[in-house]
Structure 1
Amino acid sequence: MSDRKRIYVAYVGGTIGMKSTESGYAPVPGHLTEQVRDNPQLHTAEVPELSICEYAPLLDSANALPADWLRIARDIATRRQHYDGFVVLHGTDTMAYTASALAFLLRGLDKPVVVTGSQIPLGVLRSDGRQNLLTAVLVAARDDVREVCLVFGSHILRGCRTVKSSASGFEAFASPNLPPLGMAGVQIQVDESRLLGHASGAVGLPMDLDAPVNLLRVYPGMPAGLLEAAMAPPARGLIVEGYGAGTLPTHDAALLRTLAAGAERGVVVGVVSQCVDGRVDLNAYATSQPLIEAGAVGGLDMTTEAAYAKLVVLLSEGHDPDEVRRLFASDLAGELTV
C-alpha cells in the first residue's frame, strides 16, 4: 500500500490556471488540470498524490464574497477524513482576505491548509505558479503544520497575518506583524516554534456567512455622517482603520456620539491601525478612552483583512455583541499578539 500523502487541491480561480487568449489571460475550465497532469515535476515519488477539483464557475478573486469563503471551508471540512492536507488555488487580489477567513472558519481542522496562486499563469514560460504550487503541496503534506498558511514566492506565512504587498512582484505577500513561518529556498525550512499547536474540537461552520460588516478608513476632516452611514442598519459590525495606535479625532463630539449610538444598537466596532506595522491597544493612550466608552474594541496587531474576516465570522456564528467584542480581542487562530 502506498504511503504517499494525499492532498486535495481546490482550484477556486485566479491567474494560476488561466490560459492565454486573444483577449488576454482568461479562465478556461480544465486548463489547470491539464497543466498539472502534463508537468512531470508534480508526479515524482517525492510529491504527494494530488486530487484536483476545479470550481464551477471559476472565481475572479476581485468578485469574492464571504459566501465564497464559506463554500471553500465546507469543501475542505467535508473531506477532512480523506486527505492529509489541502491546497487552495486563489486569485491574489483578495487572497489575504480568504486566507484569513479560512483560518477562523477552519479552527479545529488540525490539518494543513495552504493558500497560493501566481502572478503569471501556470502554462506560461516564466510562470511563478509551478514553484508556488509545488511548495504549497509540500507544505500541505507536512505533519507539523496544522493551520492555514499562505505560500507565495519564498515565503511561508500564517494565513491570517498576511497582506498583499505587491501587484506585480513574485514576492507579493508579507506578514507585517509576525515573522514568516518558514522559507522555501534550496530546502523548505519551517520554524516549528512559530507554528500553532494541535487544534482540538470539531469544525463548526455557520449556516451562512452573511453578517453585514463595513470597513472605513479615517482621514482628516472625515464627517460624522460618513461614520453614521457606515453604522446604519443593516450593518452589524464595522472595522475602522484609525491613525497610528488606533486614534480617531476624539475632539469631534459628533463622531463619538455616532459611535455610542451604534454600540447601543449592538453594532460591534473594531479598530485597527492604518500603519502596516501597527498595533491598536485602546487602553494605551488616554485619547482612546472616549472610544472605549463609545463601545469600540481594539484589534491589537491584526491586519485589516484579518479583522474584517474575523468580525464577519463571529457575527455570523450568532454570538451576542458583548461576546463578539470579547472574542474579537482574543487570539483565536494566531491572528494577533496578546
Structure 2
Amino acid sequence: MTERKRIYVAYAGGTIGMKATETGYAPVPGHLTEQIRDQPQLHTAEVPELSICEYEPLLDSANARPSDWLRIARDLAQHRHHYDGFVVLHGTDTMAYTASALAFLLRGLGKPVVITGSQIPLGVLRSDGRQNLLTAVLVAARDDVREVCLVFGSHILRGCRAVKASASGFEAFSSPNLPPLGMAGVQIEVDVARLRDQEPGAVGLPITLDAPVNLLRLYPGMPAALLRAALAPPARGVILEAYGAGTVPSADDELLQVLAEGAARGVVVGVVSQCVDGRVDLNAYATSAPLIEAGAVGGLDMTTEAAYAKLVVLLSEGRAPDEVRALFAQDLAGELTA
C-alpha cells in the first residue's frame, strides 16, 4: 500500500479561517484547525496527511509586508525535508504579491508550494474554502509540481503570474500572460509541459527583506515631483507602470531629468505595462527611448506584483545595481517570457 503523503499547511491568515464575531468576521486562533478537523473529506485515505501550523499573530493580508513573505519562506524552508509539499493559506487582497515573492525566495526548494484562501470563511455554509483547500492539498501532493502555484476556484496558476481579478467572485484570480498550469474540474488536470522542471538545491534566503522599493503608476499630467519623491533616498528601486509597451511622455523634460538623476544615484527602475494583458518592449516606440537612456529595465510580460516582489528580493540580497538590472530582465522563476 502506498504511504500517504505529508503536507504542511501554514495558515498565515485570511478569510478562510475567520469566524463571525460581534464586529464581523475576524481571525480567531485555533478556529481554522477546528474547522479542518470537522471536514470529513479532508481525512479520507485519498487525501494526504495534514500538519497545520497557525501563525501568531494571524495576518490580515492587507497588512502584509515583505518581512511577512520572508517569515513564510523561512518556515517552509525549515520544514522542507519533513514534508512532501506545502500549502499556504493567505488572504486574497495581497495573495498575488506573496505568491510572487515565494516563487523568488524558494528557488531551489524543489517541492510544490500552493497558496490558496477563500472569499467566504471555511465554517460558513457556502464557503468556497472547502474546495480551494482540498484542491490545493491534492496539487501539493503531486510529484510533478516543483514550483509555487496559486489555486483558486477552478484555476491552478503559476504563483508569479497571478493577479487578483475579482473582489468577490469565486474565480478571483487570473493569469493574463500565461495560460493556467491546470484546471480543477471533474478531475484535477495539470499541463505537465507548462510546469517548471526545477531540481532541488540550496534555498538561500536573505537575512532581511527590507529593500525600499516604490511603486508608481504613470498618468497623464503626472508631475515630475511625484517621480522625484519615489526615487528619493532611501529608495533603492522603483517599479514604474508605464503606458502600453512601456512608453512615457518624452516631451516632459523635467520628468526625464528626474529619471536620469535617479539612475545616476543607483536607483533601479523596472518598467511594466499598465495593460493587464501586455508586454513591455522598450525598443518598440521612440517614446520609450528616454527610459533606456535613464538605465531603466523593461519587465517584459511580468505582472506588477511579480516585478515589485522580484525587485525587493534582488535588492535585499545585497546585489549591485547593475547586477540587479541584469537579473530583473531574466527569467528566474517563470515570471516572464524571454
TM-score class, shorter-chain normalisation, is: over 0.9
Find the aligned partners of 2:7 and 2:280 in 1 and give their Cα distance.
38
Tell me the residue number matched to 1:141.
141
- Would you say the 8 A contact 2:111–2:200 is kept in 1? no
Residue 281 of structure 1: CA displacement?
1.5
Aligned-residue sequence identity (percent) comes to 85
Residue 20 of structure 1: CA displacement?
1.1
Question: Please, what is the CA RMSD of the aligned residues?
Answer: 0.8
Find the aligned partners of 1:149 and 1:247 in 2 and give their Cα distance.
31
Q: Secondary structure at the match of 1:9?
A: strand
Find the aligned partners of 1:238 and 1:204 in 2 and give their Cα distance.
24
Residue 287 of structure 1: CA displacement?
2.2
Instruction: Map 1:113-192 to 2 at 5 A.
Output: 113-192=113-192
Tell me the residue number matched to 1:293.
293
Tell me the residue number matched to 2:317.
317
Letter in 2 for 1:242: A
Instruction: Map 1:146-295 to 2 at 5 A.
Output: 146-295=146-295
Which deviates the most, 134-143 or 246-255? 246-255
In the alignment, is residue 108 of structure 1 matched against residue 108 of structure 2?
yes
Q: Give per-residue Cα distances to partners, 1:66-92, cap 9 Å, x unaligned.
A: 000000000000100000000000000
- Would you say the 8 A contact 2:158–2:181 is kept in 1? yes
Letter in 2 for 1:108: G
Residue 23 of structure 1: CA displacement?
1.4
Find the aligned partners of 1:96 and 1:139 in 2 and give their Cα distance.
18
Tell me the residue number matched to 1:81.
81
- Would you say the 8 A contact 1:107–1:199 is kept in 2? no
Residue 200 of structure 1: CA displacement?
4.7
Which deviates the most, 225-234 or 249-258? 249-258
Find the aligned partners of 1:123 and 1:151 in 2 and give their Cα distance.
19
Find the aligned partners of 1:109 and 1:126 in 2 and give their Cα distance.
35
Q: Give per-residue Cα distances to partners, 1:257-292, cap 9 Å, x unaligned.
A: 111110111100000000000100112223211110
Letter in 2 for 1:274: Q
Find the aligned partners of 1:141 and 1:2 in 2 and give their Cα distance.
13
Find the aligned partners of 2:273 and 2:198 in 1 and give their Cα distance.
30
Find the aligned partners of 2:71 and 2:309 in 1 and give their Cα distance.
14
Tell me the residue number matched to 1:65.
65
- Would you say the 8 A contact 1:85–1:140 is kept in 2? yes
Letter in 1 for 2:162: T
Letter in 2 for 1:157: L
Residue 2 of structure 1: CA displacement?
6.5
Which deviates the most, 129-138 or 284-293? 284-293
Find the aligned partners of 2:2 and 2:160 in 1 and give their Cα distance.
34
Q: Secondary structure at the match of 1:76?
A: helix
- Would you say the 8 A contact 1:62–1:93 is kept in 2? yes
Q: Give per-residue Cα distances to partners, 1:7-39, cap 9 Å, x unaligned.
A: 000000000000111211111100000001111
Find the aligned partners of 1:231 and 1:141 in 2 and give their Cα distance.
44
Unaligned runs of 5+ in 1: none
Q: Secondary structure at the match of 2:20?
A: strand
Find the aligned partners of 1:300 and 1:246 in 2 and give their Cα distance.
9
TM-score (norm 2): 0.99
TM-score (norm 1): 0.99
Q: Secondary structure at the match of 2:215?
A: strand
Letter in 2 for 1:27: P
